[in-house]
Structure 1
Amino acid sequence: MIGPSNIGDAILVSGVIAAVRTRYPEGHLTLVVGERAAALFAEDPRIQTLVNADRFRSPLARVTLAFALWRYQPQVLVDLRHTLYPLLLKPLQAWRYLRQPPRDVVHMRERHRWKLHAQVPGIADDGAASCPLWFSERDVAHVEALWRRWQLHRAPRIALIAPGARSHIKRWTAEGFAWVADRLITEADTLVVFSGEPDEEPVVEEIAALMRGRAHSLVGLVTIRQLGVVMQRVQLVITNDSGALHLASAVGAPTVAVFGPTDAGKYGPTAPSSRTIRRRLFCAPCERALCRFNHECMRFITPEDVYDAAKELLQTRDMRHET
Structure 2
Amino acid sequence: MGRNHEIEEPKKIMVRAANWLGDAVMSIPALEALRKRFPAAEIVVIAKPWVSELYWHHPAVNRQIVYDADGKHRGPSGFRELLKSLRAEQFDAAILFQNAFHAAWMAWRAGIAVRIGYARDGRSPLLTDAVSLPPRAAYSHQAYYYLQLLFRAGIIATPNPARSWDEPMLKLTDAERSWAERQLNALGLGGPRYLVGIHPGASFGPAKRWLPERFAALADRLVGALGADVLIFGTAGEKPLAEQIAQAMQHSPLVVAGQTSLRQLMALLGQCRLLITNDSGPMHVAAGLALPLVSIFGSTDERATGPLSPRARVVKAQVECSPCGLRVCPIDFRCMRGVTAEDVHRVALELARESSAAP
- The amino acid of 1:270's aligned partner reads L
| Alignment coverage as a number of residue pairs | 321
Instruction: Report the identity percentage.
Output: 26
The residue type equivalent to 2:155 in the other structure is P
How far does residue 35 in structure 1 lie from its aligned partner after superposition? 2.4
Structure 2 letter corresponding to 1:103: R
CA distance in 2, matches of 1:63, 1:128: 41
Distance 1:41 1:203 in 2: 28
In structure 2, the partner of 1:24 is 38
Tell me the CA shift for residue 18 of structure 1.
Answer: 3.0
Distance change >3 Å, CA 118–CA 71, structure 1 → 2: farther
Distance in 1 between residues matched to 2:77 and 2:199, nearest whole Å: 38
Correspondence list, 1:222-241, <5 A: 222-241=260-279
Residue 346 of structure 2 corresponds to 308
The correspondence of residues 107-256 of structure 1 with structure 2, limited to 5 A, is 107-119=141-153, 121-122=155-156, 125-127=161-163, 132-166=169-203, 167-256=205-294
What is the alpha-carbon distance in structure 2 between the residues aligned to residue 4 and residue 92 of structure 1?
16
Deviates more, 1:167-176 or 1:135-144: 135-144
Shift in Å, 1:208: 0.8
Secondary structure in 1 aligned to 2:298? coil
Cα distance in 1 for residues equivalent to 2:132 and 2:84: 24
Alpha-carbon contact 1:161-1:193 (below 8 Å) kept:
yes
In the alignment, is the contact (CA less than 8 A) between 2:235 and 2:258 conserved in 1? yes
Alignment of 1:251-290 (within 5 A): 251-290=289-328
Residues 6-27 of structure 1: CA distance to partner in whole angstroms, max 9, x if unpaired?
A: 2221122223333333433443
Please give the alpha-carbon distance, in whole angstroms, between the structure 2 residues aligned to 1:304 and 1:168. Answer: 22
Structure 1 residues 141 and 221: CA distance shift in structure 2, 3 A: farther
Cα drift, residue 138 of structure 1: 4.1
Letter in 1 for 2:136: R
**Does residue 33 of the first structure (1) align with residue 47 of the second (2)?**
yes
Match of 2:10 in 1: none
Secondary structure of the residue aligned to 2:349 is helix
Task: Determine the C-alpha separation between the residues in 1 that align with 2:194 and 2:177.
Answer: 20
The residue identity in structure 1 corresponding to 2:307 is P
Q: 1:58 to 1:106 in 2, by over 3 A?
A: farther
Q: Is the 1:77–1:119 Cα contact (8 Å) retained in structure 2?
A: no
* 8 Å CA contact retained: 1:82, 1:97: no
SS of structure 1 residue aligned to 2:69: helix
CA spacing shift, 1:305–1:128, aligned 2, 3 Å: closer
Q: Shift of residue 190 of structure 1? A: 1.9
Q: Which runs of 5+ in 2 are unaligned?
A: 1-14, 117-126
Is the deviation greater in 255-264 or in 76-85? 76-85
Q: 1:108 to 1:173 in 2, by over 3 A?
A: same
Q: TM-score, normalised by structure 1?
A: 0.86
Amino acid at match of 2:96: D
After TM superposition, the structure 1 stretch with the greater mean CA deviation from structure 2, 252-261 or 140-149, is: 140-149
Query: For the aligned residues, what is the CA RMSD?
Result: 2.9
**CA apart distance, 1:43:** 7.1
SS in 1 for 2:65: strand
Uncovered stretches (5+) of structure 1, i.e. residues with no partner: none
The Cα shift of 1:72 comes to 4.7
The structure-2 alpha-carbon separation of the partners of 1:21 and 1:122, relative to structure 1 and needing over 3 Å to count, comes to closer
Q: What residue number does 2:3 align with?
A: none
2:218–2:344 contact (8 Å) kept in structure 1: yes
> 1:283: Cα distance to partner?
1.5
| Deviation of the 1:67 alpha carbon | 7.5
> Which residue is equivalent to 1:100?
133
Q: CA deviation at 1:183?
A: 0.4
> d(CA) in 2 for partners of 1:218 and 1:34?
23
Task: Give the deviation of 1:51 after TM superposition.
Answer: 3.4
Greater share of residues in helix: 1
For the pair 1:15 / 2:52, whether they are aligned, the reply is: no
Q: 1:132 corresponds to which letter in structure 2?
A: M
Amino acid at match of 1:301: V
1:196-216 Cα distance to aligned partner (Å, 9 max, x none): 112211111000111111112
Deviations 1:99-135 (A, max 9, x none): 2233231211121122122235237852596772343
Deviates more, 1:102-111 or 1:83-92: 83-92
Change (3 A) 1:120 1:152: farther
1:19–1:33 Cα change, 3 Å: same
Kindly provide the CA deviation profile for residues 59-96 of structure 1, in whole angstroms up to 9, marking residues without a partner as x: 78667756865675532321112345288345797474
Q: TM-score, normalised by structure 2?
A: 0.78
Match in the other structure for 2:11: none
Deviates more, 1:197-206 or 1:99-108: 99-108
**Which one is further off, 3-12 or 176-185?**
3-12
Rounded Cα–Cα distance in structure 1 between residues aligned with 2:131 and 2:83: 18
